[in-house]
Chain A
Amino acid sequence: MSFNRTIAALAPMAVLTGCGSATWQVTTWGEAYIEDGIPASAFDDGCSATFDTFTVQITEAALLDGDGAVVGEAPGGSFALTEPGPQDVGSASVPARFYDTARFRIAPEGGASIHAVGSVTCGADTVAFDWSFTTDTTYVCAPEGLTLASGGTSTTELTVHGDHFFYDGLENADAAVRGQAIVDADADVDGTVTLAELAAVDVAPLGYAVGQYSDVTDLAAFVTHLTRTLGHVDGEGHCQVDL
């Protein structure tokens, strides 16, 4: 393609994205793992899990320009991810152009940042859980191919991965999803595993890996840390988290 033809081909794109405004639409979704449950096939130890409640408090959903300045924010709010999604988080009018960074924050605001209620089943044993977390996590994400054309609308999804609650590693890429340790933590055998019971379980004998987070020594701290890894962008897109 000659130089002139290249310029001619790029010109309409410049017109589309170089001026005017566009709508940045934000959604959130917990996918089938939160809506329907995590099947045994996803667990390394044959367990399974379901969620009755999975609420996240999104306190920031912002689109950033190349200088890191916020150009538009969706209002956010509390979202029950067990309801069918993707759910609408809100939208913002922003300058039409290409963007590569969105920032999300899941933080406590008038309640927990994350509230998960459900059960884990391993073989014949099932335990319930009702966990509230106050972790405050900012995700800096790179949506792929987010070009907002003038007058148009493009969507970015904050995807929440419920299976991360059950990972056996905090930073290793080959972490497995395991449930048996959660079931075994039910010290009083009342069928419900509390965060206090998780706090009584050392992670070292479990074969769990904490990587550089050597201050994480019990299962409650481990699961709490994992709440800061739930957020992704547009399905499987990774986000940077400052921990």
Chain B
Amino acid sequence: MALLMRAVQGAALSLAVACAPGRTVVQVPVAFAPSSPDVVPGDGVSIALDDASVTVAHLRLESPPDPTARWRLPSLISTAVAHPGHDFAGGVSGELLGTWTLDLLGDPVPLGSATLQDGAYATARLQVEASPVLTMSGTATVDGDPIPFGLEAAIAQEITGIPFDLTLDPETPPEALTLSVDLDHALSFVDWRTDPGADGLLTIDDGAVGHTLTFGVVSTPTWTLEPVE
């Protein structure tokens, strides 16, 4: 299966390269940088995480939108025609295909080598996969009171518009790209004062925790993609 996936990925990249006349393609390694387990989401809450993981897939890197492009031409690398937003990001000029279950508190993890065409970049997008589910557990301290929590959520949403400011010169490409996560922001929408119920454990089913956790995890400022020069 892994061999098949690599073959498919290789074919896709070959097609992309073949259909990009005049543009130079370079490979740039991508790594994930984990977060601290000590989280401060605000509102007088502090959190000590024991475990945090999320499954993501297919990092796509987009050029700035072309204001002169009156309508998109068909592309081998599809770009979504968002509805109802009707939002058009720039074309996909780089990508790293694959699926990764990220330990958000672990060691830095190499994700692979992204294929990037030369030129300007503005944004990135990343798919959050529902399986394996997102997990977060630990203890929130609210007004001095410890509130243990164990959250599991099957989130299937795309993170869009991650700022990615880079003009790629193939002669001087960045050493690497680093994907990182801001758990302070990701967990800032959860109402940690929500009554965890009779069992004393805050779960995904308590109040609007399911919605607020999802909102924070897919929120654009939660994720950062930066070149390492």
User: With A101-B71, A211-B160, A242-B67 known to touch, is A173 a contact of B211 (CB < 8 Å)?
Assistant: no
B174 within 8 A of A: no
Among the listed A64, A204, A226, A238, which residue makes an inter-chain contact with B81, where contact means beta carbons less than 8 Å apart? A238
Among the listed A100, A203, A210, A242, which residue makes an inter-chain contact with B65, where contact means beta carbons less than 8 Å apart? A242
B-side interface mostly = loop
User: With A172-B82, A175-B83 known to touch, is A211 a contact of B161 (CB < 8 Å)?
Assistant: yes
Interface size class of A (residues with CB under 8 A): 35 or more
B221 within 8 A of A: yes
User: With A101-B70, A142-B71, A172-B82 known to touch, is A204 a contact of B211 (CB < 8 Å)?
Assistant: yes
B160/A212 in contact, CB under 8 A? yes
B38 within 8 A of A: no
User: With A206-B211, A240-B88 known to touch, is A212 a contact of B191 (CB < 8 Å)?
Assistant: no
CB-nearest residue of chain A to B194: A205
B100 within 8 A of A: no
Convert B199-215 into 0s and 1s, putting 1 for each residue whose CB lies closer than 8 angstroms to a CB of A: 00000000110111011
A169/B84 in contact, CB under 8 A? yes
B84/A164 in contact, CB under 8 A? yes
- In the bound complex, residues from chain B placing their C-beta under 8 Å from that of A92 are none
Count: A-B pairs, CB below 8 Å: 95
Interface size class of B (residues with CB under 8 A): 20 to 34
A112 within 8 A of B: no
A-side interface mostly = loop
Convert A184-227 into 0s and 1s, putting 1 for each residue whose CB lies closer than 8 angstroms to a CB of B: 00000000000000000011111111111110000000000010
A140/B84 in contact, CB under 8 A? no
A100/B71 in contact, CB under 8 A? yes
Please list the 10 inter-chain residue pairs (A to B) with the smallest Cβ-Cβ separation, ordered nearest first. Answer: A212-B161, A171-B85, A205-B208, A204-B215, A204-B189, A207-B211, A171-B82, A212-B160, A229-B84, A214-B220
